[in-house]
Chains A and B, each alone.
Chain A
């Protein structure tokens, strides 16, 4: 049977088919997630309760979702910015770590005047993230070293650096836990917006989304990114600055990841701890691909993943499901989306069975 199937690439995919396969992919993914949770003993009613009612319709739940949304939106944009140019930044966690280190360094040693402290922390975090990805970008463009491996390995290095600091010079003397001293209130913390624990990082996230939308849809740089991402050779032959485009986009990506680190330490935790960045790289990639790199789409996809995070946190408490659940659910959604896409990318033909003599 399988031998009779043949494929022909579709040159133009009709819009309705795109939408249909996208919806089907998301739906099958969510069904898959539900089944997995049920296998782990969560009753169906509870799943609906947690995943629909609590995270989006309950006020306290929605606040938690929005809080989780802030860094997720930023890393989603970070992934979209780089991967759009075929620069696989899978070191987002590493860049987040470097961002948090830089921000904590500014906070701990009281760098700069107090009224500018947060701004300095912001730029320090962005710069640290940019420099960290800059190593991989430089190696790729200069020597052709694969950025997938280098960004990822540098994540481990960054994490060990954080551990070195938290188990060393920055260990909180008051508690002895591997956590930095608390940031000074007001001066080094992002202000709350007056809705539970939701902080003003949400404006940063939304602004980043809107700015990225402007860059991609209106500005000239977005045009360059599109061209270089689609066909670097033709872009070069047309006289476009291919290398500069990749470098700038990679640096923006690293910077966004650094800022994502900042909003967690300055908005949620008020200090640096060792379980801040875990799992963000993969979430970022899921968000970027679910959103098809569309900047506004990234915001919505980040909200969806934030819901999964928030519900995961509560299920963790009541059903003793470990952290890894979230990653598993995300991977099921993305895989289902990718597989279903097959049906829109190819025309599937079945050869007629003929009498073979």
Chain B
């Protein structure tokens, strides 16, 4: 049994990291008043392009950068449409999902099911030797530690810095930000790009570290779970860590239970993450009196300066 729990805890960060990264990207974007439902698509292009780089013999770090840029490129399409051409955010987000799945599906056709040598857990000398704790806290791969730093950076950037104050103002009340001399469109577009970078990285993590392979449909709804996670975390970075660990923990337990063998219906196990997501969306509304989802007030609102009041 202790073996079971140990393996479960060691693997949890691997499942939590991509969710957290995508969730952070969505938080940055939403704080500027833009809901990018395209996370699933951006993760797909990130995952696929990262593997392509590795398969063509390039180093892993380059694969990570390319994955991020691929996510940002797709985000740019979304951003140009929603920020500059004022298209509907929800609809454009769905288009972004379709484009991401379409592009990665079409172009990734010849790279599918080819295992790669990706990120492995690192060793931090004697720290990693500590029984139990060593492996869990000091034996993860580099991207997991990078994600911790990114979370801190997002928190500081959004909630502590002056730029973050402006970003949140753009998301809460674009016309107020505008009349204070802030370039609303520039902030919104930049936030969309940062969101794309992080979602691309999340996808890259799935293919370069977690799966070490590219398969179509490998994102399997994680982009949508990340959106639910962001809602659950009320668009704040630190609660997102907690949420990502809960979800990562749930996902990590599925293969553990499978290895136990026995007569457990596998497809019902696989439903767990989705059902859990539904549960966390509903529970606060049912049990917490006066629960507000705290969305930025300007979310989904198109900004046109010369709109007549």
A binding-site residues for B, Cβ under 8 Å = 6-9, 40, 88, 90, 139, 143-146, 148-150, 152-154, 156-157, 160-161, 163-164, 167-168, 282, 285, 289, 320-325, 327-332, 334-335, 338-339, 341-342, 345-346
Q: Which B residues are CB-close (under 8 A) to A149?
A: 224, 227-228, 231, 277, 281
Contact bitstring B88-126, A, C-beta under 8 A = 1, else 0: 101110110111011111100100000000000000000
**Contact among B81, B271, B281 for A150, CB-based, below 8 A:** B281
Give the CA-CA distance A8 to B305 in the complex, in Å.
8
Interface of chain B residues 247 through 276 with chain A (CB within 8 A):
265, 267-268, 270-271, 274-275
Give the CA-CA distance A119 to B277 in the complex, in Å.
36
Query: Contacts A139-B282, A342-B85 known; A282 to B98 CB distance under 8 Å?
Result: yes
Give the CA-CA distance A321 to B108 in the complex, in Å.
11
Interface of chain B residues 54 through 98 with chain A (CB within 8 A):
77, 81, 85-88, 90-92, 94-95, 97-98
Q: Which B residues are CB-close (under 8 A) to A164?
A: 265, 267-268
Give the CA-CA distance A320 to B81 in the complex, in Å.
31
| Binding site secondary structure of chain B | helix
A321 contacts B305, CB within 8 Å?
Answer: no
The answer to whether the Cβ of B3 comes within 8 Å of any Cβ in the partner chain is no
Give the CA-CA distance A149 to B101 in the complex, in Å.
18
Residue on A with the closest CB to B37? A148
The answer to whether the Cβ of B304 comes within 8 Å of any Cβ in the partner chain is yes
The answer to whether the Cβ of B1 comes within 8 Å of any Cβ in the partner chain is no
Give the CA-CA distance A150 to B103 in the complex, in Å.
26
The answer to whether the Cβ of B221 comes within 8 Å of any Cβ in the partner chain is yes
Q: Which B residues are CB-close (under 8 A) to A90?
A: 94
Nearest-CB distance from A145 to chain B (Å)? Answer: 5
Give the CA-CA distance A48 to B233 in the complex, in Å.
50
The answer to whether the Cβ of B216 comes within 8 Å of any Cβ in the partner chain is yes
**Contact among A8, A145, A150, A163 for B267, CB-based, below 8 A:** A163
Q: Which B residues are CB-close (under 8 A) to A331?
A: 95, 98-99, 102
Q: For the A-B complex with A145-B285, A322-B106 known, give 8 more contacts whose Cβ atoms are closer than 8 Å.
A: A143-B285, A160-B271, A164-B268, A320-B109, A328-B98, A330-B98, A335-B99, A338-B92
A342 contacts B275, CB within 8 Å?
Answer: no
Nearest-CB distance from A275 to chain B (Å)? Answer: 11
A160 contacts B267, CB within 8 Å?
Answer: yes
| Residue of A9, A320, A324, A346 with most partner-chain B CB within 10 A | A324
Nearest-CB distance from A41 to chain B (Å)? Answer: 11
26 A-B residue pairings within 8 Å (CB atoms): A8-B304, A8-B306, A9-B304, A40-B106, A143-B286, A144-B285, A145-B285, A146-B231, A148-B90, A149-B231, A153-B277, A154-B274, A156-B220, A161-B267, A164-B265, A168-B265, A323-B105, A325-B102, A325-B106, A328-B99, A328-B102, A331-B95, A335-B87, A339-B87, A341-B87, A346-B86
Nearest-CB distance from B94 to chain A (Å)? Answer: 6
B98 contacts A342, CB within 8 Å?
Answer: no
B106 contacts A342, CB within 8 Å?
Answer: no
Q: Which A residues are CB-close (under 8 A) to B293?
A: 144
**Contact among A153, A324, A325, A341 for B278, CB-based, below 8 A:** A153
Nearest-CB distance from B123 to chain A (Å)? Answer: 37
| Binding site secondary structure of chain A | helix
B95 contacts A327, CB within 8 Å?
Answer: no
Give the CA-CA distance A323 to B108 in the complex, in Å.
12
Nearest-CB distance from B280 to chain A (Å)? Answer: 10
Q: Which A residues are CB-close (under 8 A) to B92?
A: 335, 338
| Residue of A331, A334, A342 with most partner-chain B CB within 10 A | A331
Nearest-CB distance from B188 to chain A (Å)? Answer: 14
Residue on A with the closest CB to B97? A282
B224 contacts A152, CB within 8 Å?
Answer: yes
Q: Which A residues are CB-close (under 8 A) to B228?
A: 149, 153
A6 contacts B221, CB within 8 Å?
Answer: no
B101 contacts A327, CB within 8 Å?
Answer: yes
**Contact among A88, A157, A324, A330 for B106, CB-based, below 8 A:** A324
Nearest-CB distance from B82 to chain A (Å)? Answer: 9
Give the CA-CA distance A9 to B106 in the complex, in Å.
39
Query: Contacts A164-B265, A322-B109, A331-B95 known; A143 to B224 CB distance under 8 Å?
Result: no
Query: Contacts A153-B224, A322-B106 known; A7 to B306 CB distance under 8 Å?
Result: yes
A157 contacts B81, CB within 8 Å?
Answer: no
Interface of chain B residues 273 through 298 with chain A (CB within 8 A):
274-275, 277-278, 281-282, 285-286, 293
Nearest-CB distance from B92 to chain A (Å)? Answer: 7
Nearest-CB distance from A316 to chain B (Å)? Answer: 11
Nearest-CB distance from A337 to chain B (Å)? Answer: 10
Query: Contacts A9-B304, A330-B98 known; A150 to B278 CB distance under 8 Å?
Result: yes
Residue on A with the closest CB to B82? A338
